[in-house]
Structure 1
Amino acid sequence: MEQEHHIFGIRAILEAIRNKKEIDKVFIQKEAQGNLMKDLLGALKKENINFSYVPVEKLNRITKLNHQGAIASISPVKFYDMETLINQVTESGKMPLFLILDQLSDARNFGAIIRTAECTGVNGIIVQKAGSAPVNGDTVKTSAGAVFNIPICKVEHIKDAIFYLQGSGIKTVAATEKTEDSIYDINFNEPVAIIMGSEDRGINPSVLKIVDEKAKLPMYGTIGSLNVSVACGAFLYETVRQRTV
Structure 2
Amino acid sequence: MKKGNLIYGIRAIIEAIEAAKPINKIYLQRGLSGDLFKELEQHIRRKGLSSSYVPVDKLNKLTTNKHQGAIASISPVAFQDFEATAEKILTSTEKPLFLILDGITDVRNFGAIIRTAECTGVHLIIVSKNGAAPINDDTIKTSAGAAFNIPIAKVDHIKDALFYLQASEVKIVAATEKAPMDIYQVDLTNPLAIIMGSEDRGINPSVLNLVSEKTKLPLLGSIASLNVSVACGVFLYEVVRQRMG
After TM superposition, the score normalised by the length of structure 1 is 0.93
| Cα distance between partner residues in 2 of 1:216 and 1:97 | 18
Which residue of 1 is the match for residue 240 of structure 2?
Answer: 240
Aligned-pair CA distance for 1:234: 1.0
**CA-atom RMSD, angstroms?**
1.6
Secondary structure of 1:4 counterpart: helix
CA positional deviation for 1:3: 4.3
Report whether the alignment pairs 1:149 with 2:177: no
For 1:142 and 1:92, locate their aligned partners in 2 and report how far apart those are by CA, in whole Å.
Answer: 30
Offset from partner CA, 1:149-179 (integer Å, 9 cap, x none): 0001111111121111111121000011121
Which residue number in structure 1 is paired with residue 62 of structure 2? Answer: 62
Question: 2:223 and 2:69 mapped to 1: Cα distance?
Answer: 41
CA-CA distance at 1:116 after TM superposition: 0.6
Q: Deviations over 1:44-98 (max 9, x none)?
A: 1111111112333332332222222221111212221222222222222431110
- Contact persistence 2:173–2:212 (CA under 8 A): yes
Q: How many residues align?
A: 244
State how far apart, in whole Å, the 2-side matches of 1:93 and 1:68 are: 48
- Tell me the distance in 2 between the aligned counterparts of 1:32 and 1:3: 23
Match of 1:80 in 2: 80
Structure 1 unaligned segments of length 5 or more: list them.
none
In 2, distance between residues paired with 1:180 and 1:33? 52
Give 2:185's aligned residue.
185
The TM-score normalised by the length of structure 2 is 0.93
Which residue of structure 2 lines up, in the alignment, with residue 27 of structure 1?
Answer: 27
Q: Determine if contact 2:3/2:63 at 8 Å carries over to the other structure.
A: no
More displaced 10-residue stretch of structure 1: 234-243 or 52-61: 52-61
- Runs of at least 5 residues in structure 2 that lack an aligned partner in the other structure: none
Distance in 2 between residues matched to 1:58 and 1:222, nearest whole Å? 41
Alignment of 1:4-153 (within 5 A): 4-153=4-153
Which stretch shows the higher mean deviation, 82-91 or 113-122? 82-91
Q: Which amino acid aligns with 1:32?
A: L
Number of the residue aligned with 1:174: 174
Question: What secondary structure, in the 3-state scheme, does the structure 2 residue paired with 1:7 have?
Answer: strand
Aligned equivalents of 1:171 and 1:44: distance in 2?
34
Shift of residue 233, structure 1, vs aligned partner: 0.8
